[in-house]
Every structure is written in structure tokens, then in C-alpha cells.
Chains A and B, each alone.
Chain A
């Protein structure tokens, strides 16, 4: 019985950075209508930045450096996103959607090797913050405090985003664009700059998620691919443009993966996929989609 509690709590941990990643993907998809294939690469940038900082400078004050790493990851990924949007994606607005996919795919390939150029092909470990935080005893099992920390960060980020979207002027404009682009434009909202902002926000979220994962998983080349696919499954499951959908979708995917790894270690990705496909058959717009 206790094992199940641990599995579920592990699933929550996984769900937390999945939530951030898919939120980022959803914002970009919702506001700009672009499916960002380079999203996983932005995740990877965040992971490498954080791992590099902690691994290189974090031996004395791992948690402080890690927090710095989180913010740095957010910043670097966000800036990378802004650069990406202004140079590559803007020229594609009036083209067929496939071109946008192609160009973000090209960016994916590019960034993979840029990461290789900067950080080489080795793995970057950053487990100090994890071990330093210790764990909580749950019966005979131990639950790492780091997991709780990660969940806290995600919830905080989610809350922050919700506040921005519902209370600030910028957020309301972003939501307006995602609901009806033409109307928003007719009302004088400056689509161009807000698109850039949305992409930057989405990228920053991905970077933050990447950074959050490094205490338990080393930063490796190709680390972003699975988060990309999983985030996509979450968006498709939870429905586009829904914060609630991203949350519930992340929980479903996170828990399924957690349980899947224990019982069906070979096929947890196909299993997740099966669930997504089944849901899509009955509700093509996702669970909470519009």
C-alpha cells in the first residue's frame, strides 16, 4: 500500500515539469497557432545551463546555485526563444503551416548541435541539490524533499502564469489573441510583439522545466525529445488553451508514466500513447479543449 503512495508521489514529481513544458507549448500553440518542434531543445538548453552551473560552481552552496541555475535557465531559454521567434518564425506567418513546422524542426536540429558545440557530448550531472535536501520518511519508504521542491516551483510558476493571464493587461491581450486573432487585431492589439512575448514565455517555461529535472537526470544530448512528445500528448489530451487541461493532462501522463515504469518498464511510452489515442477517438478536441 505504501508503495502506491510513493508511486503516486513520484508521478506528481514527473507531472510537475511536464506541466511547465506543456504549458509553454500550449501558450505558443494557442497564441500563435504554431506547434513548436524546437520546444524540446529549449527544455534541453535549460537543463544544460542549470546542470553546468550546479556541476561547475555548486559544490559549496548547491541549493543557492541551483536556484540561480533555475533563473538562468529561464532567462537563457527565454532569450533563445525570443531570438528564434524574431529571426525564423516571423517570416513564416503568412506561409502554410507546414513551413512553420519545417522551420522549427530546422531549429531543433540546429540547437541540438549548438548544445553539442557549447557543452560537448558528455553528460552533466547536478545531483547535489537533490542529495543535500534529503528525504521525508513515509513509512518504510523515503520521499525526497527535492520532489516537493520541484512541485512547489511548478505550482508557483503555474500560479504566476495564471495571475499574468487573468489580471494583467498583457495577459488579457494574449488570451484575446488566442481566442480570435482577427478580432484581436481589429481591436488594435499589437499581434507581432505579443507573439514574440508569447514565444519567449513558452520558451522560458520549457527552460525552467529542463532545469528542474537535472538533479535527478543528467543533462544529455537528446534529452529534450521525450519531453516534447509527452508535452504534446498532454496538450492533445488536456485540450488546447486550457490551463486546467494542461494540469490534468500532466497529472494523467505523469502518473501513468510513474506506474508504467514500475509495472511495464518496456512500454510506458507506447502505453501513454494508447491512452492518448483512445481519448482522442472519443473526444478529438481533448478532454477540456475548445
Chain B
């Protein structure tokens, strides 16, 4: 299957169409909405990473906020302590490196356990990171957090520019490119032999081990990849938000990550992207009409869970096998 096969599939055109629409959005949307949308895009990058773990590996993490925070704080701390290196070409790799370290540590601890313990261990580890971020205020700024300056992008400085100008200009296009790259990479991963191996682990870990897949190791790889995407989302988000505080490592945000992935429908590849963008609007709307938005999210989460059919691995299988009439030769 070569380049030509990819181009001629209808899905490719849909993706291309979406990308073109995205490129024109700054001309269409008012600035306020555009910035909100950008927030949603950074969450979408994060949700893609989260879903690699949930949908494709069958692991539910309640602690992904910590990985998001790692990326965001990596940017913040670079700004604080290495202002000379405050260039986007350095900041993104640093954020990825930080995410790599943290997810390796988290992952190594969590994947050794059964799926249920995995979930709450992830939650507990994220609470530890949260506690560290708050208490080590000399390094991390404590609960006040760190202010995020505008970075130098490929040599061009934006000092003095207003943030909203920055976000509706160069940064928007950079973000869209990063998002597109992340989506393509994730697509490649889930369709690759590695991705298939992860799905086998999700379906039947005993059998997976039996056909020669080292389950623990592959779960760790999946966790690390998931963490990289999530941290990248956090890093990109930090510029949009302008400020990073420990709250993003807390359990509430981790719960929101789970929620937005479920909202968009985690069984489909694009689902988390849609869920993330939708969630940014929903959350804003909910917060503006009530102070009890946790109740709203909790209630809708419960409704979502009650209505989803049997099992993460069962469920939409019937729907899928009806849709999968043509042979699947590639893009999921």
C-alpha cells in the first residue's frame, strides 16, 4: 500500500478539508472564540494521547492531569530559569523530554498492576505531583504558578505584542501544524503492528502474552507515548492560557480529561478530538450558568456511562462490523 492508496481514500479528503477549514478559521472566528478554540485544540492533542491508552490499550488513567502539567510547567520553568533559551524550538523538545521522564516513572509504577489498581495508582501519583507543585513554591511558584511569556518562534520575537494578537497570528498556525502532525503520528501508531499489539493486549492480555507480546513492556511504551502527547498538549496550552498553576495536575482536571474523551466517543479515532473541543465550550457555558458545574459533569458522565453498551471491548462492535463492509486496509 503506497502513497497513492492513502490519497485516494475518501477519509483523506475529509481530513484535508478540515485542515483547510482550520487554516481559514482566524479569518472567520472572532478573536475570543478563536482563542477558546485553540485551547480546545491543545486539549485535543492531549485527548489523542489519552485515548491511545484507553481505547487502544484498555487502560483508564485518572492521573493524566499530571502529565499535562509536566508539559506546561516545563515551559514555565524554562521561562523562569533559562530565559535565554526561551525559543519554541527548544521549549517543545524540553517539554517532551520532561513528559518522557515523568511518564516513564509513572508508567513503570502503574503498569505492574491489574487494571483497576492501575487507574487509582495513576490518580495517586498525580496527587503526589500536585502536592509537590504546590509545596515546592520556591521552585514552582506554588499555588500562584508561573506566568508564561510569549516565546521566540524561529528567531522572531514577539515581545511587547499583546497575547491575543500573538494567538490569532503566528501561534495559531504553529498550533495547527503541531496538531496535524500529532494526529498523523497517532494515526500511524494505532494502525501499525505496534498498535495492533496494543489492541490485543487490551482484548486478552493472557493470549497476548501467549503469542509473544510482552504485555507489561508494551503497556509501558503505550503509557510513555500517551504521556508525550499529553505533555505536548500541556506545553502548547501554556502559551494560550498565559499562566500555569498546580490545578491542572489535580484530580478534577484528570477527571475532565476522562470526561472529554468519553464525551466525544472514545471508540472512534477522531472522537476525543471532537470531545475535547466540545468540552471547552461546554465547560465555559456550564460555569457561566451555574456554580455547580462539577455536578453537571458528574451527572452527564454517569448518564454517558449508563448508556454505553457492554464493555470497552464490546459495545459498538456490532455497529462497526456493519460499517466495515469494505476490507479495512489502513486508516482506522
Q: Do chains A and B touch in the complex (CB under 8 A)?
A: yes
A residues in contact (CB < 8 Å) with B: 35, 37, 88, 91-92, 94-99, 101-103, 105-114, 116-117, 225-226, 229, 232-233, 236, 265-267, 269-270, 273, 277, 280, 284
**In the complex, what distance in Å separates the CA atom of A267 from the CA atom of B258?**
28
User: Quick check: which of B65-73, B225-233, B271-279, B299-307 contacts chain A, the rest being far away?
Assistant: B299-307
B302 touches A106 (CB 8 A): yes
B124–chain A nearest beta-carbon distance, Å: 5
Residues of A within 8 Å of B135, CB to CB, are 265-267
Query: In the complex, which of the residues B112, B131, B297 has the most CB atoms of chain A within 10 Å of its own CB atom?
Result: B131
B residues in contact (CB < 8 Å) with A: 58, 60, 62, 109, 112-113, 115-117, 119-120, 123-125, 127-128, 131-132, 135-136, 251, 255, 258, 262, 291-295, 297-299, 301-302, 305-306, 308, 310-313
Residues of B within 8 Å of A273, CB to CB, are 124-125, 128
B119 touches A35 (CB 8 A): yes
B262 touches A233 (CB 8 A): no
A116 touches B292 (CB 8 A): yes
Contacts known (A96-B312, A225-B127, A267-B135); A37 close to B295, Cβ less than 8 A = no
Residues of A within 8 Å of B258, CB to CB, are 102, 105
Pairs of residues from A and B, 7 with the lowest C-beta to C-beta distance, nearest first: A109-B298, A113-B295, A110-B298, A106-B301, A106-B302, A266-B135, A96-B311
- From the candidates B112, B136, B299, B301, name the one contacting A105 in the complex (CB within 8 A): B301
B119 touches A117 (CB 8 A): no
Q: Which secondary structure dominates chain B's binding surface?
A: helix
A102 touches B131 (CB 8 A): no
Residue in chain A with minimal CB distance to B299: A110
**In the complex, what distance in Å separates the CA atom of A35 from the CA atom of B313?**
20
**In the complex, what distance in Å separates the CA atom of A232 from the CA atom of B132?**
19
Known pairs A96-B311, A96-B312, A98-B119; list 17 more (Cβ under 8 Å). A35-B117, A91-B306, A98-B115, A99-B308, A101-B60, A101-B62, A102-B258, A106-B298, A106-B305, A109-B295, A110-B295, A111-B298, A112-B294, A117-B295, A236-B117, A267-B132, A270-B132
Contacts known (A99-B308, A105-B62, A270-B132); A113 close to B298, Cβ less than 8 A = yes
A-B contact pairs, 26 of them (CB 8 A): A37-B120, A37-B123, A88-B306, A91-B306, A98-B60, A99-B311, A101-B60, A102-B301, A103-B301, A108-B255, A109-B294, A109-B301, A110-B295, A116-B291, A117-B295, A229-B123, A229-B127, A266-B136, A267-B132, A267-B135, A269-B127, A269-B131, A270-B128, A270-B131, A273-B128, A284-B113
B109 touches A277 (CB 8 A): yes
B123 touches A110 (CB 8 A): no
Query: In the complex, which of the residues B58, B136, B306, B313 has the most CB atoms of chain A within 10 Å of its own CB atom?
Result: B306
A95 touches B310 (CB 8 A): yes
Residues of A within 8 Å of B306, CB to CB, are 88, 91, 103
**In the complex, what distance in Å separates the CA atom of A109 from the CA atom of B251?**
10
